[in-house]
């Protein structure tokens, strides 16, 4: 074990201290208002002035401060409320985009409420001991010996990572009499994609002086919200293939009827659908006649997401998912089909477009995809080649660059698959090293993880 790391026993002691301190800080943060914090800070300030000024006025000031704080704290402590609420949530939210939703409230208690607000509390963001002990903050090795030993910045980083959303209090509610109903609007900003649980709705009850507030839980259902990956504005990418006509069978017909044009009639053959019967011709000839259509062929694209990412590059992987979601949301699936392909424990393929699922479903899949710790580009290559006869082209989105990724692209090119390759790296130096270590066998659109939108428009070099 490195000398800069505490022993397992000391790690557990540090974990308990940080765990308890975080709980205390969370409790106080939601019960102290700005005015109360200011008055609390004035108490030690008055002590510093004692040697320099007359004692009597300072003692009076201190006594007044204690009286105000005591009165406000007692008033906040005895405040009570009993509310019932219903959230009206949209079907989806988007990571890092503000979301507003309505909450209906009913005062089921015996007391009127004045000056109260409603707040959505995020789930507990304290990490487990195993996560704390085995995780490493990005750049932790560059910190000084003291910081590496006590691991406080690691704790803070894990808490930020596990915070699912930021929330804001509602505007102060109007006086709510017993049995009365009202509505308010809450605002939250999801920090990351996935499913977030909304199970801790609170009402804040300030004291008359506005120094402290009581916080009471509101009775409501436990709701969930699907947070889709954030998306970027894409430039005009040139993808091969377009909708074209062919006789014989539509690669993907719409959900209702045929989309091809009616061209001729022919004799009925067993298996022809009844809706294709041409009734006028049958009446004239005395035997069944069916309509023949000129079918439409739609291009089919593969959207390949590289999930083989080490834990320390999880932030870069999030950008890869966002770029994949941007393509999924931008490609016109009314005139094409899109197959999302990735490996997570096993091969996964999800199709969207004409005759398939809606693109929203694909975005939901991307909202839940995670890194695959075991690298297996051979399996990903087999998955793509399994569909090569149907694919017009493949959009490959890589997180980082390696010889294994380059080899897979070489084999896909040998199979005559058209490729559009995007690779996301940490910075320009990482891109330069990637090009030197394994020169790409096909043109690559390079993106820096901190400048995705800029590099999508103007590729990094």
Is there a single domain that holds both residue 330 and residue 412? yes
Which range scores top for mean pLDDT: 130-134, 199-203, 346-350, 359-363?
A: 199-203
Q: Residue 287: what pLDDT?
A: 85
Whether residue 365 lies inside any domain: the answer is yes
Is there a single domain that holds both residue 196 and residue 318? no
CB atoms inside a 10 Å sphere around CB 293: 19
Cα separations in angstroms, 114 against 81, 127, 167, 206, 312: 10, 37, 22, 9, 49
**The last residue of a domain, from among 228, 262, 280:** 228
CB atoms inside a 10 Å sphere around CB 392: 19
Whether residue 293 lies inside any domain: the answer is yes
Task: Kindly tell me if the per-residue pLDDT of 405 is higher than 70.
Answer: yes
Whether residue 377 lies inside any domain: the answer is yes
Whether residue 158 lies inside any domain: the answer is no
Q: What is the mean pLDDT of residues 216-232?
A: 95
Work out the pLDDT band at 244, boundaries 50, 70, 90: very low
Comparing CA positions, the residue from 448, 403, 388, 384 lying closest to residue 422 is: 448
Give the CATH number for residue 308.
3.40.50.410
CB atoms inside a 10 Å sphere around CB 420: 22
Give the CATH number for residue 178.
2.60.40.10
Is there a single domain that holds both residue 107 and residue 250? no
Q: How far apart are CA 332 and CA 259, in angstroms?
A: 16
Is there a single domain that holds both residue 57 and residue 191? yes
Q: How far apart are CA 172 and CA 185, in angstroms?
A: 11
Is there a single domain that holds both residue 354 and residue 314? yes
Q: Which residues are within 8 A (CB) of 377 and not within 5 positions of it... i.e. 6 or more apart? A: 308, 404, 405, 407, 408
Whether residue 223 lies inside any domain: the answer is yes
Domains of the chain: total: 3
Greater confidence, 246 or 83?
83
Whether residue 142 lies inside any domain: the answer is no
Is there a single domain that holds both residue 64 and residue 213? yes
Greater confidence, 231 or 287?
231
Give the whole-number percent of the chain exceeding pLDDT 90.
57
Exposure string of 333-358, with b = 16+ CB inside 10 Å and e = fewer, is beebbbbbbbbeeeeeebbbbbebee
Tens digit of each residue's pLDDT (9 = 90 or more) over 39-64:
888 877 766 665 555 556 767 777 88
Cα separations in angstroms, 353 against 373, 383, 460: 31, 20, 31
Whether residue 368 lies inside any domain: the answer is yes
Q: What is the mean pLDDT of residues 179-185?
A: 95
Q: How far apart are CA 202 and CA 223, in angstroms?
A: 14
Cut 0.95: pTM above it: no
Task: Kindly tell me if the per-residue pLDDT of 427 is higher than 50.
Answer: yes
Q: Residue 249: what pLDDT?
A: 34
Provide φ and ψ at 439, rounded to 5°. -55, 130
Is there a single domain that holds both residue 383 and residue 251? no
Whether residue 255 lies inside any domain: the answer is yes
Q: Residue 461: what pLDDT?
A: 55
Q: Is 80 exposed, middle or buried (0-12, 13-18, 19+ CB in 10 A)?
A: exposed
Work out the pLDDT band at 345, boundaries 50, 70, 90: confident
Q: Residue 459: what pLDDT?
A: 65
Q: Residue 231: what pLDDT?
A: 94
Is there a single domain that holds both residue 259 and residue 381? no
> Which domain covers residue 273, as residue numbers?
244-297
Q: Residue 460: what pLDDT?
A: 56
Comparing CA positions, the residue from 266, 65, 90 lying closest to residue 188 is: 90
Is there a single domain that holds both residue 398 and residue 428? yes
Q: Residue 199: what pLDDT?
A: 93
Q: What is the mean pLDDT of residues 247-255?
A: 35
Tens digit of each residue's pLDDT (9 = 90 or more) over 18-32:
999 999 999 999 999
Q: Residue 159: what pLDDT?
A: 93
């Amino acid at each position: 074990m490195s000398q800069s790391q505490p022993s397992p026993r000391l790690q557990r002691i540090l974990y308990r201290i940080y765990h308890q301190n975080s709980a205390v800080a969370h409790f106080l943060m939601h019960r102290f208002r700005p005015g109360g914090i200011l008055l609390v800070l004035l108490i030690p300030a008055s002590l510093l002035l004692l040697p320099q000024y007359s004692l009597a006025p300072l003692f009076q000031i201190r006594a007044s401060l204690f009286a105000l704080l005591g009165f406000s704290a007692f008033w906040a402590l005895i405040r009570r409320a009993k509310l019932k609420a219903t959230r009206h949530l949209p079907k989806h939210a988007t990571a890092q985009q503000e979301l507003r939703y309505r909450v209906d409230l009913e005062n089921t208690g015996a007391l009127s409420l004045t000056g109260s607000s409603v707040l959505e509390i995020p789930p507990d963001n304290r990490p487990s001991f195993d996560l704390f002990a085995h995780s490493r903050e990005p750049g932790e090795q560059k910190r000084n010996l003291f910081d590496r030993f006590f691991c406080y910045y690691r704790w803070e980083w894990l808490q930020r990572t596990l915070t699912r959303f930021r929330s804001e209090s509602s505007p102060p509610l109007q006086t709510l009499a017993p049995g009365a109903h009202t509505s308010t609007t809450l605002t939250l900003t999801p920090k990351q994609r996935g499913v977030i649980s909304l199970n801790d709705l609170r009402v804040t009850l300030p004291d008359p002086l506005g120094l402290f507030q009581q916080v009471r839980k509101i009775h409501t259902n436990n709701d969930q919200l699907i947070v889709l990956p954030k998306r970027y504005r894409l430039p005009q990418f040139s993808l091969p293939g377009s909708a074209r006509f062919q006789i014989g069978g539509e690669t993907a017909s719409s959900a209702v009827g045929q989309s091809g044009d009616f061209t001729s009639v022919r004799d009925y053959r067993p298996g022809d659908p009844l809706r294709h019967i041409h009734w006028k011709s049958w009446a004239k000839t005395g035997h069944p006649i069916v309509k023949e259509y000129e079918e439409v062929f739609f291009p089919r694209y593969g959207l390949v997401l590289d999930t083989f990412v080490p834990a320390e590059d999880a932030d870069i992987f999030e950008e890869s998912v966002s770029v994949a979601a941007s393509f999924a949301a931008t490609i016109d699936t009314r005139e094409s089909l899109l197959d999302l392909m990735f490996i997570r424990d096993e091969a996964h393929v999800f199709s969207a477009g004409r005759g398939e699922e809606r693109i929203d479903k694909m975005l939901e899949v991307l909202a839940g995809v995670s890194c695959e710790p075991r690298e297996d580009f051979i399996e990903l290559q087999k998955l793509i080649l399994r569909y090569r006869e149907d694919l017009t082209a493949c959009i490959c989105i890589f997180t980082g660059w390696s010889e294994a990724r380059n080899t897979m692209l070489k084999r896909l090119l040998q199979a005559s698959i058209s490729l559009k390759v995007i690779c996301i790296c940490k910075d320009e130096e990482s891109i330069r090293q990637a090009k030197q270590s394994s020169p790409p066998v096909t043109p690559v659109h390079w993106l820096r993880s901190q400048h995705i939108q800029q590099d999508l428009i103007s590729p990094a070099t």
